[in-house]
Amino acid sequence: GGIFESIESGPSGPEELAFKFALNTINRNRTLLPNTTLTYDIQRINVFDSFEASRKACEQLSLGVAAIFGPSHSSSANAVQSISNALGVPHIQTRWKHQVSDNRDSYYISLYPDFCSLSRAILDLVHFFRWRTVTVVYDDSTGLIRLQELIKAPSRYNIRLKIRQLAADTKDAKPLLKEMKKAKEFHVIFDCSHEMAAWILKQALSMGMVTEYYASCFKALYPSLHFLLAFVLFFSLRQTEVCVCVCVCVSVSLQCNRHKPWRFGGRFISFIKEASWDGLTGRILFNKTNGLRTDFDLDVISLKENGLEKIGTWDPPRGLNMSENHKSKITNITDSLSNKSLRVSTILEEPYVMFKKSDKPLYGNDRFEGFCVDLLRELSGILGFRYEMRLVEDGKYGAFEESTGQWNGMVRELMDHKADLAVAPLTITYVREKVIDFSYFLAILNILYRKPNGTNPGVFSFLNPLSPDIWMYILLACLGVSCVLFVIARFSPYEWYNPHPCNPDSDVVENNFTLLNSFWFGVGALMRQGSELMPKALSTRIVGGIWWFFTLIIISSYTANLAAFLTVERMESPIDSADDLAKQTKILYGVVEDGATMTFFKKTKISTYDKMWEFMNSRRQSVIVKSVEEGIHRVLTSDYAFLMESTAIEFVTQRNCNLTQIGGLIDSKAYGVGTPMGSPYRDKITIAILQLQEEGKLHMMKEKWWRGNGCPEEESKEASALGVQNIGGIFIVLAAGLVLSVFVAVGEVLYKSKQNAQIEKKYRPITVVQ
């Protein structure tokens, strides 16, 4: 007997048609059950009407049916199952049934696969495709039970699982699909009926969610397929004992109100549970205790451009078995991108992407040239894809705008799938990595500033080898030594001598070390010229010797440093590092708006860089620039330092000798080719870039676009001739000394003339006139 729910589409549903087809096929093949004809009784009930299902089952049992098929709904099926257990009649089901621990349904047979095995099959697919984030969508509470093996997976595997439920009593899945699309959930497993699966696919197609970026797994088994297994079931029951049981049961009428079970029912259900055969869905084998199906085959079907294609199978003993063709597509980097047309988002920045200079009008990809253009051309040659380059609409790399809660720039285009790739100097950051995927390059953050002008030594640069303090100390030391020498020479009796050696009894003695002579002795020793004054006493000679040693060291040190100070042009820069920038406010500094460098300073926890961001944020309108070109222009035309990646600085300084890199490493950055989150292209792009790196092509492209004409090398200063600007001060000192000596000489003449006049006046002879 068969009990089926009524449907609106017609008198017979697919389950009922499959049931009739199976029995009619057996009756037409007289070799299966010779001299026996199988008859059937079909009853239709309303959905959810368990009382009607019980009444129809009792009517069929009174007719002497050997087994009951259906119904498919759980409440009605449970009512029929209860009657079958009581009267010992096999109950064959095609619906999912939760396994109970007491196994009281001893007359239960299910052609539906065991839910634990189905969960393992889905988990194997997740591992095969290397999904790291999975969303599970179910339509009723039993879905969580059916998927419990998958739900337990995050605790054992590195999988992030998100669970959603479809709205009850509705076929509109668009609100849920919109939420998943907004949340960037690309790997989805649906546990729903086949009718709902069809609705979801149609709605997902209308929302642009049936693309290579989305991977959906539908765990929906079509019911009519299971009922076709009934044909296979009776086709295989060819044992004589079973035939006897079936024949006997025709004449046995069971009554629900008598509670007298069928005496052949236990034997009949045992034969069914012990049987195994190959059916339309693979090997059929039942658990002898609970009647659940333990062996089956699942086909893995993928939606391709030409329609549905079988790409693999799964069965409990062997697990997942993907076709060799599909395995090669997973491992071969060229297949998944071959002949595909990709949309590439980019941004203008030298030397990565630039407009090509040409007298003729250019169109399409021919408009551009640069490092990224060459890189994209090489990737296309390796992976076999076609591409169309487009400039990002808002001219920005991509940053999260807290005011709107939205991303902008190339990142936004990747998130909205307006672009398949972003090939530009796009920096990999933590916040970007959460919404898009990247390949990998390396960059370093540095400071771009004007090269300081060379400063020639001044005319008094001969004083530079010694600091002003040292010059003052030397002068004081010379005065101090002169005074000490004068005092000791006066004190020591050995420094006094008789100016008239011919008259040894003369009481007149003299001392050469007057105060002026002592100072002249010190100056002569300091100038390495000496003097005619010679100390005679041991004490004065000690003073003179110590002073000579002191002047030897001073003059030697001065001479050693004099050459460097007179011949080398000093390159003095007001800043040497990020710390110097942070400690001053005269030199403005900034970054590109909404770039990765700006994000770095905004999110940093390092005190120096945080202080720099506070400065930039407080003067946002005057220091934040819209593009790299604007930043470079400001560096050249004003007192401004520009924070940017070292690779870009290297390119700029190769072409403009007035610019230079200041300081060392500020932060390490990584460039990457951006792809949408979950894109199947990311790994292929990364492998191709590594291939280019190993072949040396990346280095060749960098040399091509970074190497400029080069700045002229600075002339060697090792043997440079000294000019007036180097030692002109010496001539000034000489001239000043000569002029001073003339004035002193004139003064001496005037002074001496005055003295002579006074003497002559005092001793003028007086003439006496008598």
Q: How does pLDDT run across 602-650, given as a tens digit for each residue?
A: 887 788 888 888 888 888 888 888 888 888 888 888 888 888 777 777 7
Average pLDDT over residues 152-175: 79
Helices (H), 207-358: 223-236, 240-250, 265-274, 324-331
- CB of 391 closer than 8 Å to CB of 348: yes
Of 100-104, 493-497, 587-591, 659-663, which gets the smallest average pLDDT?
A: 100-104
Q: With a cut of 50, say whether residue 223 has pLDDT above it.
A: no
- What pLDDT was estimated at residue 346? 94
Per-residue pLDDT, 458: 64
Least confident window among 46-50, 176-180, 200-204, 757-761? 757-761
pLDDT at 720: 52
From CA 191, how far away is CA 185, in angstroms rounded? 16
Q: Please check if 432 is assigned to a binding site.
A: yes
Helix axis angle for 515-526 and 538-567, nearest 10°, is 40
Partners of 303 in the β-ladder = 308
What is the mean pLDDT of the segment spanning 738-753? 70
Quickly state the pLDDT bin for 737 (edges 50, 70, 90): low
Q: What is the three-state SS of 74-118?
A: HHHHHHHHHHHHHHCCCEEECCCCCCCCCCCCCCEEECCECHHHH
Residue 530 CA to residue 534 CA, distance in Å, equals 10
Q: Please give the backbone phi and psi of residue 626, each rounded to the nearest 5 degrees, phi first.
A: -85, -25
Phi, psi of 93 (to 5 degrees): -120, 155
pLDDT score at 344? 93
Tokens 């030391």, residue? 477
Asked whether the predicted pLDDT for residue 552 surpasses 50, the reply is: yes
Question: Which of 663, 596, 602, 676 lies closest to 209 in space, CA to CA?
Answer: 676
Tell me whether residue 25 is annotated as binding.
no
If you average pLDDT over each of 105-114, 125-134, 333-342, 560-569, which comes out highest? 125-134
Range with lowest mean pLDDT among 8-22, 613-627, 725-739: 725-739
- Give the pLDDT of residue 237: 40
- pLDDT at position 114 over 80: no
* Closest among 109, 63, 71, 40 to 269, alpha carbons compared: 109
HSE of 500 in the Cβ direction (CA atoms, 13 Å)?
Answer: 7
What is the C-alpha separation between 371 and 121, in angstroms, rounded? 46
Angstrom distance (rounded) from CA 739 to CA 742 = 5
Q: Which residues lie below 8 Å from residue 136, measured CB to CB, with a gap of 6+?
A: 147, 150, 151, 161, 162, 163, 164, 188, 189, 191
Q: What is the pLDDT of residue 177?
A: 86
Q: What are phi and psi of 182, to 5 degrees?
A: -65, -35
Task: State pLDDT tens for residues 256-273.
Answer: 877 788 888 888 888 888
Where is average pLDDT lowest: 278-282, 386-390, 562-566? Answer: 562-566
CA separation for the pair 496, 509 (Å, rounded): 6
Per the annotation, does 653 bind a ligand? no
Q: Indicate if the pLDDT at residue 422 is higher than 90.
A: yes
Confirm if 397 and 350 have CB atoms less than 8 A apart: no
Which residues have C-beta within 8 Å of that of residue 540, sequence separation ≥ 6?
Answer: 485, 488, 489, 492, 495, 513
645 annotated as a binding-site residue? yes
- Summarize the confidence of residues 335-342 as an average pLDDT: 75
Rounded CA gap, 661 and 642, in Å? Answer: 10
The response to whether 559 counts as a known ligand-binding position is no
- Give the Cα separation of 570 and 311 in Å (integer): 73
pLDDT band at 524 (very low <50, low <70, confident <90, very high): confident
> Average of pLDDT values for 734-753?
68
The pLDDT of 566-580, averaged and rounded, is 64
pTM beyond 0.75: no
- Alpha-carbon distances of 708 from 495, 628, 653, 704, rounded to whole Å: 77, 18, 9, 9
**Between 452 and 717, residue with greater pLDDT:** 452
Note the pLDDT of residue 242.
38
Asked if 457 and 726 count as a contact pair (C-beta separation under 8 A), the reply is yes
- pLDDT attached to residue 402: 82
Token pair for residue 757?
A: 């006049």
Give the CA distances from residue 627 to residues 391, 525, 674, in Å, rounded to whole numbers and listed in that order. 14, 66, 20
Residue 255 phi, psi (nearest 5): -115, 130
Question: Given the structure tokens 């590195």, which residue do they identify?
Answer: 158
pLDDT band at 716 (very low <50, low <70, confident <90, very high): very low
Task: For residue 78, give the amino acid letter.
Answer: N
The pLDDT assigned to 232 comes to 37
* Distances 194 to 218, 546, 551 between C-alpha atoms, Å: 9, 109, 105
Q: Identify the residue with better confidence: 102 or 92.
A: 92
CB neighbour list of residue 271: distance below 8 Å, 6 or more residues apart: 237, 239, 241, 242, 245
Percent with pLDDT over 90 in the chain: 5
Look at residue 255 in the predicted model and tell me its pLDDT: 81
**Better-predicted residue by pLDDT, 351 or 506:** 351
Rounded to 10 degrees, the C-alpha dihedral 600/606/608/611 comes to 70
Beta sheet of 341-346, edge-to-edge order: 386-391, 341-346, 421-422, 674-676, 436-438
How far is 403 from 390, CA to CA, in rounded Å? Answer: 27
What would the mean pLDDT of 61-75 be, rounded to a whole number? Answer: 82
H helices of 624-681, in order, are 628-637, 646-655
Judge residue 19's burial from the number of C-beta atoms within 10 Å of its C-beta, 0-12 exposed, 13-18 middle, 19 or more buried.
Answer: buried
CA dist list (Å): 586 to 42, 313, 380? 95, 71, 49
Of 133-142, 487-496, 725-734, the least confident: 725-734
- N- to C-terminal Cα separation, the chain: 190
**Whether the Cβ atoms of residue 62 and residue 75 lie closer than 8 Å to each other:** no
Lowest mean pLDDT among 224-228, 576-580, 660-664: 224-228
In 3D space, the residue among 112, 72, 106, 70 whose CA is nearest the CA of residue 88 turns out to be 106
d(CA 181, CA 343): 20
Report pLDDT for 104: 62
Give the pairing of strands 108-110 and 133-138. Answer: unpaired
Taking residues 335-344, report their average pLDDT: 79
Residue 178 and residue 208 in contact, taking contact as beta carbons nearer than 8 Å: no
Q: Given a cut of 50, is residue 87 above it in pLDDT? A: yes
Tokens of 94: 């095609």
Residue 709 banded pLDDT, cuts 50, 70, 90:
low
Chain-wide mean pLDDT for the chain?
77
Q: Pairing mode, if any, of strands 674-676 and 436-438?
A: antiparallel
Query: CA separation (Å) from 269 to 61, 102, 294?
Result: 16, 18, 16
The C-alpha atoms of residue 443 and residue 601 are separated, in whole angstroms, by: 16
3-state secondary structure 417-451: CCCCEECCCCEECHHHHCCEEECCCCEEEEEEEEC
Examine the pLDDT at 78 and tell me if it is beyond 70. Answer: yes
**Higher pLDDT, residue 122 or 720:** 122
pLDDT over threshold 50, residue 135: yes
